[in-house]
C-alpha cells in the first residue's frame, strides 16, 4: 500500500478532512510515514515576521496553528513530520513532491465556485496537473 504519504495542508477545514483520509490510508500500512507540508507564501512571511518577536517566536506561532492536527496524528500512532516550505503554494508542493519520491500525495480542495477559481486559482488543480505521483484530492 502507501508507505510514504505526502500531505499538503493549508489549515482549512478541507485540509483537516484531507488529514483524516491520509491517516486512514497510513493506518493500513505498518511503518507508513506521513510528511505534512504547509506552504507559506511571501505575503504570509511578511505578516508573520511583522507579528513575531524574533525567529524562535515565529517558529512557535506557526507550529501552534497545527497543534490539534499533530495531536490527532499522534493519537492515531502515525509517524509523521511537519515541514514548512516557502513559495507559491502550487509550484512549491509540486517541486517538493517531485524531488522526493512519495507513494501518494493527499491534498484538500477548497471547493471554490468557478468565479472564485478564476480569480484565486485552484491550488489542487495546478498540483494534479504537474505532480508525478498519484494524488488523492479530498473534498
Enumerate binding residues for another protein (CB under 8 A): 40, 42-43, 45-54, 58, 85-88, 119
Cβ proximity to another protein: between 48 and 103 the closer is 48
The helix-helix angle for 67-75 and 13-27 (nearest 10°) equals 20
What's phi and psi for 108, nearest 5 deg?
-85, 150
Residue count of the chain, please give it: 139
Q: E strands within 10-124? A: 33-40, 79-86, 104-108
Cβ proximity to another protein: between 26 and 93 the closer is 93
Q: Which three cell numbers stand for residue 130?
A: 504537474
Distance of closest approach, residue 39 Cβ to another protein, in angstroms: 11
Distance of closest approach, residue 105 Cβ to another protein, in angstroms: 21
Say if strands 33-40 and 135-138 run parallel, antiparallel, or are unpaired: unpaired
Distance of closest approach, residue 3 Cβ to another protein, in angstroms: 28
Cβ proximity to another protein: between 40 and 133 the closer is 40
- Smallest CA-to-CA distance from 107 within 32, 6, 35 is with 6
Cβ proximity to another protein: between 98 and 116 the closer is 116
Distance of closest approach, residue 88 Cβ to another protein, in angstroms: 8
Amino acid at each position: 500500500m502507501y508507505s510514504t504519504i505526502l500531505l499538503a495542508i493549508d489549515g482549512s477545514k478541507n485540509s483537516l478532512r484531507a488529514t483524516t483520509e491520509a491517516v486512514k490510508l497510513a493506518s493500513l500500512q505498518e511503518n507508513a510515514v506521513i510528511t505534512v507540508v504547509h506552504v507559506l507564501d511571501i505575503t504570509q512571511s511578511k505578516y508573520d515576521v511583522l507579528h513575531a518577536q524574533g525567529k524562535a517566536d515565529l517558529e512557535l506561532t506557526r507550529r501552534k496553528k497545527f497543534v490539534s492536527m499533530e495531536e490527532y496524528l499522534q493519537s492515531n500512532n502515525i509517524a509523521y513530520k511537519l515541514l514548512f516550505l516557502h513559495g507559491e503554494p502550487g509550484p512549491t508542493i509540486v517541486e517538493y513532491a517531485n524531488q522526493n519520491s512519495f507513494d501518494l500525495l493527499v491534498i484538500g480542495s477548497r471547493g471554490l465556485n468557478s468565479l472564485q477559481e478564476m480569480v484565486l486559482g485552484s491550488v489542487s488543480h495546478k498540483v494534479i496537473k504537474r505532480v508525478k505521483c498519484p494524488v488523492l484530492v479530498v473534498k
